[in-house]
């Protein structure tokens, strides 16, 4: 039987790589404009990092991690998200001792979650994320939100809703949990089986359940925003002031709670409308206790992660498809056996001069070489062989205008350059 890629994974094919590279270049540029530098951490980490970081009551840790024992009998987990690895590296390399804030981004980090593959949900996805450490105030929250929005805007995506909420801190959350448990406890039998479990482990998660019955119950639940302590409330109000100052239209959504345990204060999602209902394009928030939880100093953090597969989905939904670039600018065609070696040599020397140039590997006829070159989007064709070659000349043809000129083989580059700028 033919071997296929594992369920929930997808190949990125050469013909679509330009889209990924385009998205990556916009991400890199925006991150650099905001003073973030790239970090790359291993694809796998010790399992304990995610149990402690992401939280052992979350769906991710309980059900979705790719965990295995390595040959040294250590428990290893493929990264189910990007933040914990970045925090581990921050602590291990004492980056927290550098001038603050410490700003880092990761680009197309492979992320693995054993989920039921469906529209916009795969088992290996790729995340771009920005993480800012050391800032207590809301300017950092605003910075990361505005950076990801700018990226989406530059990609041409419109009509995205930014939902924000505050889920409080260890000072105010216990009282809210108690109020929520009281409310949900009286309606336990009407919750879906998964939320009945969540009620025990993490009642906040009931608020973002997608089941209709649970949503009706969640709509009447106590509002977390009226339970915030003064510090959390001031932080949330100031964040709104900063975002409003940039003209941003945000939706305050007390049902955004996020599926990871590390969040404190700000949480946010950017929502896209998919044919099967709204899904998050981007998610993030503040995690002021995470660095300490993983063994580092008391240092606040805030950031987001955005999945490239979902960006591609949304580009498709909004009908945005940038034109694919051509594969090569120049094709050096050979005519007859005697043209092969000089065509090969010319192709190679053009590359050294910085032209994207190809030549015939397949021993095709001249006509077939033209057909092939046309499919590659070649702009200038050079024909090496025949009577011209015996005079030391080549033909340079501009594929768009059809114009043909002759040039000495040794000076073909300048003729090609002229044709390329036409």
Contact 57, 201 (CB under 8 A): yes
Calculate ∠ Cα 123-128-130, nearest 5°: 135
Report in angstroms how near the CB of residue 345 gets to ligand HAM at its nearest.
47
DSSP reduced 3-state for 136: coil
Residue with tokens 């594969």: 327
In this complex, which beta carbon is closest to ligand HAM, that of residue 62 or of residue 365?
62
Q: Give Cβ neighbours of residue 148 (< 8 Å, ≥ 6 apart).
A: 130, 270, 282, 284, 304, 306
Q: Is the peptide bond before 101 cis (omega within 30 degrees of 0)?
A: yes
168 versus 385: smaller Cβ distance to ligand HAM: 168
* Cα 18 to Cα 59, 241, 327, distances in angstroms: 34, 38, 10
Toward ligand HAM, which CB reaches closer, 8 or 386? 8
Which of 284/342 has CB closer to ligand HAM?
284
CB of 24 to ligand HAM, least distance (A): 15
User: Minimum CB separation from ligand HAM for residue 401, in Å?
Assistant: 45
In the bound state with ligand HAM, the residue whose beta carbon lies nearer, of 303 and 342, is: 303
Q: Which is nearer to ligand HAM, 138 or 285 (CB)?
A: 285
The pair of structure tokens assigned to 185 is 């406890």
- Least Å from the CB of residue 19 to ligand HAM: 16
Which two structure tokens, joined as six digits, stand for 55? 């939280």
Q: In this structure, how many other beta carbons lie within 10 angstroms of the beta carbon of residue 349?
A: 15
Considering the complex, state which of residue 84 and residue 384 has its C-beta at the smaller distance from ligand HAM.
Answer: 84
Q: Which residue has the tokens 């929520």?
A: 180
Closer residue to ligand HAM in complex, CB, 122/191:
122
Distance from the first to the final alpha carbon of the chain:
52
Which tokens is 251 given?
């939706």
CA triple 362-366-368, angle to 5 deg: 60
Rounding to the nearest 10 degrees, give the CA dihedral for residues 28, 128, 54, 302: 40
Q: State the minimum distance, in angstroms, from the CB of residue 261 to ligand HAM.
A: 11
Which residues form the interface with ligand HAM (CB under 6 A)?
81-83, 113, 115, 120-122, 125, 127, 129, 131, 259-260, 280-285, 303-307, 309-310
* CB of 163 closer than 8 Å to CB of 251: yes
Judged by DSSP in three states, 146 sits in helix
CB of 313 to ligand HAM, least distance (A): 9
Minimum distance between the CB of residue 181 and ligand HAM, rounded to whole angstroms? 25
* Nearest by Cα to 281 from 139, 114, 182, 160: 160
Rounded to a whole number of angstroms, the minimum distance from the CB of residue 244 to ligand HAM is: 22
């Amino acid at each position: 039987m033919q071997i296929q890629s594992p369920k929930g994974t997808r190949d990125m094919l050469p013909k679509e790589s330009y889209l990924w590279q385009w998205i990556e270049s916009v991400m890199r540029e925006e991150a650099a404009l905001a003073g973030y530098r790239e970090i790359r951490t291993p694809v796998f980490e010790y399992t304990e990092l995610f149990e402690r970081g992401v939280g052992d009551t979350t769906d991710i840790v309980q059900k979705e991690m790719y965990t295995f024992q390595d040959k040294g009998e250590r428990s290893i987990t493929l990264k189910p998200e990007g933040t914990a690895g970045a925090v581990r590296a921050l602590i291990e390399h004492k980056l927290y001792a550098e001038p603050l804030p410490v700003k880092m981004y990761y680009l197309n980090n492979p992320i693995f979650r054993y989920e039921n593959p469906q529209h916009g949900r795969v088992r290996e996805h790729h995340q771009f994320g920005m993480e800012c450490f050391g800032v207590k105030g809301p300017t950092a929250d605003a910075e990361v939100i505005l950076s990801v929005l700018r990226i989406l805007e530059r990609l041409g995506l419109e009509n995205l809703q930014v939902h924000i909420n505050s889920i409080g801190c260890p000072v105010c959350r216990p009282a809210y949990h108690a109020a929520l448990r009281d409310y949900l406890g009286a309606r336990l039998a009407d919750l879906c089986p998964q939320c009945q479990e969540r009620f025990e482990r993490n009642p906040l998660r009931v608020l973002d359940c997608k089941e209709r019955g649970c949503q009706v119950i969640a709509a009447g639940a106590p509002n977390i925003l009226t339970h915030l302590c003064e510090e959390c409330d001031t932080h949330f109000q100031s964040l709104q002031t900063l975002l409003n100052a940039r003209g941003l239209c945000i939706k305050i959504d007390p049902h955004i709670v996020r599926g990871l345990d590390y969040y404190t204060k700000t949480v946010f999602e950017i929502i896209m409308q998919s044919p099967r209902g709204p899904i998050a394009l981007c998610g993030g928030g503040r995690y002021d206790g995470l660095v300490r939880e993983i063994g580092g100093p008391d240092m606040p953090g805030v950031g987001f992660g955005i999945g490239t597969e979902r960006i591609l989905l949304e580009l498709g939904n909004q009908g945005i498809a940038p034109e694919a670039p051509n594969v090569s600018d120049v094709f050096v065609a050979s005519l007859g056996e005697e043209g092969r070696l000089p065509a090969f040599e010319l192709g190679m020397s053009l590359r050294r001069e910085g032209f994207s140039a190809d030549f015939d590997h397949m021993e095709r006829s001249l006509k077939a070489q033209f057909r092939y070159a046309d499919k590659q989007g070649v702009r200038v064709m050079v024909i090496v062989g025949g009577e011209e070659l015996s005079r030391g000349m080549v033909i340079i043809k501009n594929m768009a205008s059809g114009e043909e000129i002759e040039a000495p083989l040794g000076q073909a580059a300048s003729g090609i350059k002229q044709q390329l700028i036409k």
